[in-house]
Structure 1
Amino acid sequence: MDALDVARWQFGVTTVYHFLFVPLTIGLSVLVAILQTMWHRTGNERYLKLTKFYGKLFLINFAMGVVTGIVQEFQFGMNWSDYSRFVGDVFGAPLAIEALVAFFLESTFIGLWIFGWDRLPKRAHLASIWAAAIGTNLSAYFILAANSFMQNPVGYRINPDSGRAELTDFPAVLTNKVALITFPHTLAGSFLVAGSLIVAVGLWHVIRNRDSADTGAYRFATKFGSWVVLVASAAVVFTGDIQGKIMTDVQPMKMAAAEGLYTTESPASFSVLTIGSLDGSREVFALKIPYLLSFLGTGDPHGTVRGIDDLQAQYATQYGAGSYTPIIPVTYWSFRFMITFGLAAGAIALLVLWSQRKGRTPSSRWLLRAGLAMPVLPLLANSFGWIFTEMGRQPWIVFGEMLTRNGVSRSVSLAEVLTSFTAFTLLYATLAVIEVKLLLRYAKAGVPDVSEQPPTDDTDDAERPLAFAY
């Protein structure tokens, strides 16, 4: 084990942990805005209760996401300084816009939304949560545009004197075809997570608090969240199909590794289950669907999908001697876990909707257990999706331009990286406990009482204390 191995583990752990909060923040920001819009248009108190209820869960998650996300930027300078030096000119523009425009838009209007209840006009207050939601989604796009450069470098040139990538076409970076499909795919996954949380919390209250005066609100929440999950599931499948075809075009090795396909095939079959040797180099048993991999990769059931061996030979000739094959068992199984957990969440949402058909009230303990597992399933799907995306690109940190081993900081020792890795892991474990306890505490508390009206006396509004609405 050396500093490179630990630096990769550290970045992987902190990234996956941070992304546990990101999809929930992205999805809930929009769904809370939709709920408040429904209240604004109808005046129905039920929607106001749900807005404040799920808004509180959104704020808890948002705060934790900000804290964990800051560490990501520090690691570029700490453990990956050579990589930062190489891509800094390209990454500077999208990440600066993300921080100066998207994040400030998001954080500013979240503040107005939090403290603006009963102080801002209703329309202005509603506009603030929509502005925050737009900022959240813009933030995601600029970050994904930077990540997409690592998958498919565009809009740059290599300076022969400095050896750095220099930005030559910023619109090309923003319109990278990988970014254009990764963004809607990520959004769909985010709504899958957010909708699942709404279902899980609502279903728990429907089954456990059957005689509550707010049962109607919880029943609506479970239906609303279930439909969000179903629509998001369909969007994930649709965008994932397009993403697979683009991935086959720009990163054929990643598609071959996802399938464990060593020889070029036409047509190529998709393996539902494959048992191979421990190093992933030999197939022992496989259950396959004919033609499916060709269709997923090329759009043609008889299309040609290049194998690992052929691509390895090409890359060795093109880039020099060495292994250009990612860890096959990791890419193979992470790809399938991503699909399985995502589809499982959609299946449970369908079951929840069926249990409430014709006004019925769900009561099954098995349904409750399945519902409570819902938020975890798409979170796992998102996590395995990113593990597949990043591990499938290896050994490249910027595909075709920079190997991962060349991006690590040269002056950082193994002991220093181990120290920071241990510290971050323990800190994140602590934050995870705090996050889960806060979410469970406020989720169990239920929707708030919104019957209390703001003061109607003649007191000057400027003299009223700034009140936190939650």
Structure 2
Amino acid sequence: MDILELARWQFGITTVYHFLMVPLTIGLSVLVAGMQSAWVRTGDVRYLKMTKFWGKLLLVNFAMGVVTGIVQEFQFGMTWNAYSRFVGDVFGAPLAMEGLVAFFVESTFLGLWIFGWDRLPKRVHLACAWAFSLATIASAYFILAANSWMQHPVGVEFTDGRPTMNSIWAVLTNNTVLAAFPHTIAGAFSVAAAFLVGIAAWHLWRRRAAADEHRAVWRSSLRLGAWVGVVAFGALVVSGDVQGKLMFEQQPMKMASAEALCHTEEPASFSILAVGDVTDENCESVKTFTVPALLSFLAHGDLTTEVKGVQDLVGEYQERYGTHYPDDPVLGELAGKPIDYVPNLPVTYWGFRAMIGFGALSAGIGVLALWLTRRGRIPESRWFPRLSLLGIALPFAANSAGWIFTEMGRQPFVVVPNPTGLDGVWMFTAQAVSRLSTGEVWASLLSLTTVYLALGVVEVFLLRKYVRGGVDGVLPPKRSATDDDSDSTDDALAFAY
């Protein structure tokens, strides 16, 4: 593999791995704050137990997310320094906001929440929970604003060969981020919901004796997760529809690659599945179970709109952005070579369907959980907890597939041209990579992947340990009447791991 391909693999592996932690942290932090709110308002100890159990799992995941996320910042300078110079004037502002506002607020109030049990007033302690939860969401917004600028550059002027930001407001209110943000947050709640359903269902089955003192904790957690998962999927459908229509306007090649639409259709049908090679010139022949005019509706909200196919779009892209890469030595082997404007169609076609399919299956498990626990019922069969545990992976896979589709679908651009924006504000991925040796990129790829694998083992070990420990593993140890009442340190710090 050449340097460009190695650098893309490195960024893809580390970014997708990090993104496994992000949605769980976002969704679970808000749910835990909601659980604590219910306890403060009602005094029901069930909600306190829920807060402490799910809060411990949240903190394990949060810590791993911080560790793996740090690498993302360094990667821009390691293997993508040309990209960093090109986008630096724009990315500096939202990334600084993410670091100085969201991350510091998040970390500060999370620390107060961890060590504030039995030390802060209940409502002050609860306010800390909501502060770090909302800061987590704010952090996601700033990161999405930067990513959305790559998908749809706005708020800049082109000077001295690079974009210079002239409106931070335009960057933060980019219609691309306004559509991507609710979709991403809904995906995060879908992940957290499946996490609750799977673990709670397992504990309900494991402790199915009627006398179990924590039974109400697991049943409430399961139903909360199920409701959140179903609502989140509805939000994903609505926000995904908005994103699809923006994609039709801003990145028509990505729209065509999502469907592997080789030739222009009016109206355009939507393919459910394909049996065969979607990269073939006559790929329409391998599609099956098509829904007439549905792609036109997804693109423009009607059943008649023309959707351009890959072959026709290639000509338009060549006319606008050139047929060959510049004959520049920094491009290495690609210097002067023809530009391939077609993304990897198998990845985009199947990634788009995996995103939708896994999300729908996860919501289906939520509906099933609500049905099986209606009117106080407790699932007794062995298959349901197994299905729910396996279902935890579904929204994780859907989120990853969605991000892979988003990033792969814009190739060969790392900064996609805005069809109505300034000329020159785009960048080919081949131009963005650092001029390193193959050995150097291999070394960083292997070392980072090894470290991430080790961190993955640690996180799975810790989550498994605390999940199996259940509620008893997070509550302060019960004290007998003979204990020294003056020594309350263990109780006060029982939640500060």
When the two structures are superposed, what TM-score results if normalisation uses the length of structure 1?
0.96
Contact 1:260 1:280 in 2 (8 A): no
1:206 matched residue in structure 2 = 204
Residue 431 (structure 1) aligned with residue 455 (structure 2): yes
Whole-angstrom distance in 2 between the partners of 1:335 and 1:427: 30
1:408 matched residue in structure 2 = 433
**What does 1:239-278 align with in structure 2 at a 5 Å threshold?**
239-277=239-277
Q: Deviations over 1:153-199 (max 9, x none)?
A: 0011121x3x1211011100000111001000000000000011111
Whole-angstrom distance in 2 between the partners of 1:30 and 1:95: 23
Tell me the SS of whatever aligns to 1:364: coil
Whole-angstrom distance in 2 between the partners of 1:425 and 1:282: 39
Residue 75 (structure 1) aligned with residue 100 (structure 2): no
1:306 matched residue in structure 2 = 308
Whole-angstrom distance in 1 between the partners of 2:487 and 2:373: 49
Q: Deviations over 1:268-308 (max 9, x none)?
A: 00000123437444324212000110001111111111111
| CA 1:224–1:451: 2 relative to 1, 3 Å | farther
Give how far 1:467 is off: 6.4
When the two structures are superposed, what TM-score results if normalisation uses the length of structure 2?
0.90
Tell me the SS of whatever aligns to 1:21: helix
**What does 1:188-227 align with in structure 2 at a 5 Å threshold?**
188-211=186-209, 212-227=212-227
Give how far 1:451 is off: 8.5
Tell me the SS of whatever aligns to 1:19: helix
2:131 matched residue in structure 1 = 131
Tell me the SS of whatever aligns to 1:166: strand
2:322 matched residue in structure 1 = 320
Q: Deviations over 1:217-239 (max 9, x none)?
A: 11111111100100101111111
Give the total of aligned pairs: 465
Whole-angstrom distance in 2 between the partners of 1:41 and 1:382: 34
Whole-angstrom distance in 2 between the partners of 1:141 and 1:131: 15
Q: Deviations over 1:3-39 (max 9, x none)?
A: 1100000000000000000000000000000000000
Tell me the SS of whatever aligns to 2:86: helix
2:156 matched residue in structure 1 = 156
Whole-angstrom distance in 2 between the partners of 1:9 and 1:451: 47
Whole-angstrom distance in 2 between the partners of 1:337 and 1:13: 18
Whole-angstrom distance in 2 between the partners of 1:458 and 1:348: 47
Q: Which amino acid aligns with 1:444?
A: R
Whole-angstrom distance in 1 between the partners of 2:54 and 2:492: 25
Give how far 1:452 is off: 5.5
Aligned Cα root-mean-square deviation (Å):
2.0
Percent identity over the alignment?
56
Tell me the SS of whatever aligns to 2:315: helix
| CA 1:204–1:268: 2 relative to 1, 3 Å | same
1:18 matched residue in structure 2 = 18
Give how far 1:316 is off: 0.2
Q: Which amino acid aligns with 1:183?
A: F
Among residues 365, 369, 394, which one is paired with 1:377 in the alignment? 394
Whole-angstrom distance in 1 between the partners of 2:172 and 2:236: 22
Give how far 1:66 is off: 0.4
Whole-angstrom distance in 2 between the partners of 1:303 and 1:447: 55
Whole-angstrom distance in 1 between the partners of 2:306 and 2:276: 23
Whole-angstrom distance in 1 between the partners of 2:357 and 2:104: 36
Whole-angstrom distance in 1 between the partners of 2:392 and 2:127: 28
| Structure 1 runs of 4+ with >2 Å offset | 275-282, 448-453, 457-462, 464-470
Give how far 1:373 is off: 1.2
Gaps of 5+ in 2: 324-338, 418-425
Give how far 1:459 is off: 7.4
Whole-angstrom distance in 2 between the partners of 1:268 and 1:195: 35
Contact 1:267 1:304 in 2 (8 A): yes
Tell me the SS of whatever aligns to 2:124: helix
Contact 2:270 2:291 in 1 (8 A): yes
Tell me the SS of whatever aligns to 2:286: strand
Contact 1:91 1:146 in 2 (8 A): yes
